Amino acid sequence: MPIARFTLTFPSLSHEQAFERMEAVENHLAIDAAAVTINETDEAAGHWETVAWFETLAEAEAAQAVFAPALSSIGEVPDKDWVKLSLEGLAPVVAGRFFLYGSHDRNLRRSGGISLEIDAGTAFGTGHHGTTAGCLEAFDHILKRKQPRRILDLGCGTGVLALAAAKATKRKVLATDIDPEAVRVTLLNASRNDVRGFLRGQTAAGLHHASIAAAAPYDLIFANILARPLAHLAQGLSRIVAPGGFLILSGLTVDQKRWIGACYRLRGLVPVETLIKGNWVTLVFMRPTNKKRPNHKGFGRQVTWAHGPGWEEA
């Protein structure tokens, strides 16, 4: 995508006018804006603005000539490192023993626990989202009871969960994603965090790859994706969890947890923990080692993310 260096702004419009102007700019055949947005500038007065972004000054001036030049203004976008500025707004994340930080907060690394350096980039996942934090917290609870040996991170994104598993267990982790860029970023982050030797990355759609079947069954599977694919994958994921193994599911909203929970209970898995942060849910399931209900003392509770630094009972 071209870099937008100039803006054309139409100020002091009503919401309806701003929306109409946005559509007009977007649909005009002679105007090629990189992006068009509307912003509320004065809530009390009901004032909005339409802003169009252009790569060159000539493009912005041409668009201004079409739409009421006297009622608009052209500005130059400051030459700033916007990615760096956005990163500086992301504070470190603490989830159990895990401490996630960006490269701008490298000086804040903790001496204890497990620290991971993850920057926002071309793949999804810095650890700040409630689903990722929930998965890490659930993993921390599992580690207090069991050390998984065979681990799969399905839909790895930037690799946060795969890296956490590799650092915590010093075991091989298979990280897969439908997006090859996500796999590339995961392996890059693994090198930055000194766990590249423990990670294998693989581009794969769902469970459709020989490497996933070859490494099964798994003692631990992360699947932080979305509700619909989790429902679709319920049978396949349930089959590759080892007896006594855990499945951590996320990417779910509160109103989806019963639906997804039922999908996995019907496949013989036992729910052992529910973690909630805001409207986001993480579900933990276990495959019984026998037909009797497994002993998972300490699990089996619903946990809600507090507004403070940790988890509290719901």
Q: How far apart are CA 190 and CA 309, in angstroms?
A: 27
What does the DSSP 8-state code read for residue 174?
E
Residue 259 lies in a domain: yes
Instruction: Looking at the structure, tell me whether residues 72 and 142 fall in a common domain.
Output: no
In a domain, 54, yes or no: yes
Statement to judge: residues 151 and 51 lie in one domain: no
pLDDT confidence band for 2 (50 / 70 / 90): low
Shared-domain flag, residues 54 and 132: no
Query: Do both 54 and 153 map to the same domain?
Result: no
Q: What is the CATH classification number for the domain harbouring 284?
A: 3.40.50.150
What average pLDDT does range 213-228 have in this prediction?
95
Helix (H, G, I), strand (E, B) or coil at 117: strand
- Please check whether residue 17 lies inside any domain of the structure: yes
- Tell me, yes or no, whether 175 and 263 share the same domain: yes
For residues 85 and 289, which has the higher predicted lDDT (pLDDT)? 289
Residue 98 near residue 114 (C-beta atoms within 8 A): yes
In whole angstroms, what separates CA 128 from the centre of its chain?
Answer: 8
User: In this predicted model, what pLDDT tens digit does every residue of 266-279 receive, in sequence order?
Assistant: 999 999 999 998 88
Q: Domain check: are 270 and 144 in the same one?
A: yes
Q: For residue 54, give the CATH number of its domain.
A: 3.30.70
Q: Are both 43 and 159 inside the same structural domain? A: no
Q: Is the pLDDT of residue 299 over 80?
A: no
Phi, psi of 75 (to 5 degrees): -130, 155
Q: Compute φ and ψ for 185, nearest 5 degrees.
A: -65, -40
Percent pLDDT > 90 in the chain is 60
pLDDT for residue 125 is more than 70: no
Indicate whether 187 and 294 sit together in one domain. Answer: yes
Reply yes or no on whether the pLDDT at 166 is more than 60. yes
Is the Cβ–Cβ distance between 271 and 285 less than 8 Å? yes
Tell whether 133 and 63 lie within a shared domain. Answer: no
Residue 101 lies in a domain: no
Within 8 A by CB and 6+ apart from 301, the residues are 273, 274, 313, 314
Same domain, 155 and 228: yes
The number of distinct structural domains making up the chain is 2
Find, among 93, 102, 123, 161, the residue nearest to 310 by Cα.
Answer: 93
Residue 93 maps to a domain: no
Residue 141 inside a domain? The answer is yes
Identify the domain boundary among 37, 53, 76.
Answer: 76
Residue 236: which domain range? 128-313
